[in-house]
């Protein structure tokens, strides 16, 4: 059976798709029925009518996230529409549940009009504890997220933008340390000017990279002051005064390359032209801007990361969104603040320096794994990601003033997370045929 047949069979066997809804309360007796629905259901309704925050106690809102997409920029498939993108959104739901015990409704929209999307999503606020925007094309994704964040009193998170930024930034912090460089002196070149590139650039600035030391390139070349071709307000924010015009020009002497663009845009010669001890994050998927082997052949002093699981240092968004929402939901956050994003970044970076659990070595067929050039970011199946990132995000939410619930003991909270992890592990999972 080839890969296509295997994937289609996986999605279609048994109950079609990848998710289902199950009740969390018994409904086996007359009394159960009376409590679940009428007349008993009136009591929590009346409580919530008096105090809306009680919805977090009496309904699923406290653990429910909407994964929402218009299908305009699905993975590497492009604008295939909401319906065709549904398998991806269901997949996000599986990852939310598997890694952080967060429940998800995936909602695929039959419109790509940003104003309609804003109206639809903002009207859903009573249902959800958080909104995960997914696979919405730039530049409209920026406007949609900003406007929804302004209107809504629950976290709104565009994963393609902030998820990639947080995971790559964690890897970047460790790579800078290992290469014995100073982040404020780093000259960083970005290939791509969409959601992921803009998200990465903004977060890197918050971590200490100077805006004047950044050069962003798109398919038209360097984004420079005064350029008229293929520009928008979001690109204008990264326009620099320079005579450089091509990606090749920009990479000459650069300390770091961050690629979130297209396959095979970077050559060995371009990597050789970079500064000593370069950092190359070629994160285009499935084919990176330059392959792992080509980059390593070009420079022996390189630290390399890609978006692929078959090479070291995979930048994988599953390291971020489940745990960020877990922490945000558990303190009933109104939004996801920059402090929460930085906290998640630093928690991931620090975790890579800790001892790797034996279960991770077994899962990846490794004998050993330790912090170094080929291990700058944790593996997705490391159970300690949950126990590191969620508490860091929750604490940052409380300190930055966006939390509506205070956690008195982070140690006790971590024990609650351990219970959640055991709960997920105990769930009935369909067996492979």
- Alpha carbons 366 and 167: distance in angstroms, whole number: 22
List pLDDT tens digits, range 349-369.
999 999 999 999 998 888 999
The pLDDT assigned to 2 comes to: 87
- Alpha carbons 206 and 341: distance in angstroms, whole number: 10
Catalytic residue among 6, 10, 37, 182: 37
Would you say residue 428 has pLDDT above 70? no
Mean pLDDT score, 99-127: 97
φ, ψ at 221 (rounded to 5°)? 110, -155
**pLDDT band at residue 216 using 50, 70 and 90 as cut-offs:** very high
Q: Token digits for 398?
A: 């409380």
Distant-in-sequence contacts of 229-233, Cβ < 8 A, 24+ apart: 232/139, 233/139
The pLDDT assigned to 393 comes to: 98
Catalytic residue among 92, 181, 187, 379: 92
Work out the mean pLDDT of the chain and round it to a whole number: 95
The pLDDT assigned to 431 comes to: 61
Mean pLDDT score, 355-384: 93
- The CATH number assigned to the domain with range 162-306 reads 3.40.50.720
What is the secondary structure of 71-86 as a DSSP string?
SSSBTTTBS-HHHHTH
The pLDDT assigned to 415 comes to: 95
The pLDDT assigned to 425 comes to: 85
Would you say residue 105 has pLDDT above 70? yes
Residue 394 makes CB contacts below 8 A (sequence gap 6+) with 327, 328, 330, 331, 403, 407, 410, 413
What is the secondary structure of 232-298 as a DSSP string?
-HHHHTT-B--S--SHHHHHTT-SEEEE-S-TT---HHHHHTSPSS-EEEE--SSS-SS-HHHHHHH
Strands (DSSP E) contained in 19-87 are 64-69
Mean pLDDT score, 228-252: 94
**pLDDT band at residue 59 using 50, 70 and 90 as cut-offs:** very high
The pLDDT assigned to 409 comes to: 96
Start-end ranges of CATH 3.40.50.720 in the chain?
Answer: 162-306, 317-426
- The candidate with the shortest Cα–Cα distance to 421, out of 100, 197, 194, is 100
Mean pLDDT score, 116-127: 98
Question: Is there a contact between 284 and 308 (Cβ–Cβ < 8 Å)?
Answer: no
Q: Which range among 50-59, 226-235, 295-304 shows the weakest confidence by mean pLDDT? A: 226-235
Strand partners, 130: 65
Start-end ranges of CATH 3.40.50.10380 in the chain?
Answer: 11-154
List pLDDT tens digits, range 251-265.
999 999 999 999 999
Question: Is there a contact between 316 and 307 (Cβ–Cβ < 8 Å)?
Answer: yes
- The CATH number assigned to the domain with range 11-154 reads 3.40.50.10380
The pLDDT assigned to 309 comes to: 87
Burial of 125 (0-12, 13-18, 19+ CB in 10 A): middle
- The candidate with the shortest Cα–Cα distance to 327, out of 73, 124, 48, 100, is 100
Would you say residue 410 has pLDDT above 90? yes
The pLDDT assigned to 426 comes to: 83
List pLDDT tens digits, range 145-173.
999 999 999 999 999 999 999 999 999 99
Residue 37 among the catalytic residues: yes
Of 401 and 19, the structure prediction assigns the larger pLDDT to 401
Would you say residue 119 has pLDDT above 70? yes
The pLDDT assigned to 187 comes to: 98
Assign a CATH topology to domain 317-426.
Rossmann fold (3.40.50)
Of 52 and 2, the structure prediction assigns the larger pLDDT to 52
């Amino acid at each position: 059976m080839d890969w296509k047949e295997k994937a289609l069979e996986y999605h279609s066997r048994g109950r079609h798709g990848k998710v289902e809804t199950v009740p969390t309360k018994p409904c086996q007796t007359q009394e159960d029925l009376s409590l679940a629905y009428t007349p008993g259901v009136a009591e929590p309704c009346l409580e919530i009518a008096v105090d809306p925050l009680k919805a977090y106690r009496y309904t699923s809102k406290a653990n429910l996230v909407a994964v929402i997409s218009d299908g305009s920029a699905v993975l590497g498939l492009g604008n295939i529409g909401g319906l065709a993108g549904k398998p991806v959104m269901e997949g996000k739901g599986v990852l939310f549940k598997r890694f952080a015990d967060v429940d998800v409704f995936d909602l695929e929209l039959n419109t790509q009009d940003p104003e309609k999307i804003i109206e639809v999503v903002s009207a859903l606020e009573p249902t959800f504890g958080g909104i995960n925007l997914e696979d919405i094309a730039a530049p409209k994704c920026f406007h949609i997220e900003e406007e929804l964040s302004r209107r809504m009193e629950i976290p709104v998170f565009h994963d393609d933008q902030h998820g990639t930024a947080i995971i790559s930034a964690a890897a970047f912090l460790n790579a800078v340390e290992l290469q014995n460089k100073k982040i404020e002196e780093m000259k960083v070149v970005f290939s791509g000017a969409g959601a992921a590139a803009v998200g990465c650039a903004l977060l890197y600035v918050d971590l200490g990279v100077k805006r004047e030391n950044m050069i962003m390139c798109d398919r038209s070349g360097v984004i420079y002051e005064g350029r008229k071709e293929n520009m928008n307000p979001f690109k204008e924010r990264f326009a620099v005064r320079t005579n450089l015009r091509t990606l090749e020009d920009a990479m000459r002497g650069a300390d770091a390359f961050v690629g979130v663009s297209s396959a095979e845009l970077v050559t060995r010669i371009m990597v050789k032209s970079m500064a000593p001890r370069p950092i190359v994050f070629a994160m285009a998927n499935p084919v990176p801007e330059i392959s792992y082997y080509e980059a390593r052949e070009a420079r022996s002093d390189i630290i390399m990361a890609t978006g692929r699981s078959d090479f070291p240092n995979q930048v994988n968004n599953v390291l971020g969104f489940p745990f960020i929402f877990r922490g945000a939901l558990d303190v009933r956050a109104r939004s996801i603040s920059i402090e929460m994003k930085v906290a998640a970044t630093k928690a991931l970076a620090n975790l890579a320096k800790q001892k790797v659990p034996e279960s991770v070595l077994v899962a990846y067929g490794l004998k050993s794994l330790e912090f170094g050039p080929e291990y700058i970011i944790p593996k997705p199946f490391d159970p300690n990601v949950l126990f590191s990132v969620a508490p860091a995000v929750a604490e940052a939410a409380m300190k930055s003033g966006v939390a509506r619930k205070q956690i008195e003991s982070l140690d006790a909270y971590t024990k609650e997370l351990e219970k959640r992890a055991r709960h997920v592990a105990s769930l009935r999972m369909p067996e492979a045929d």
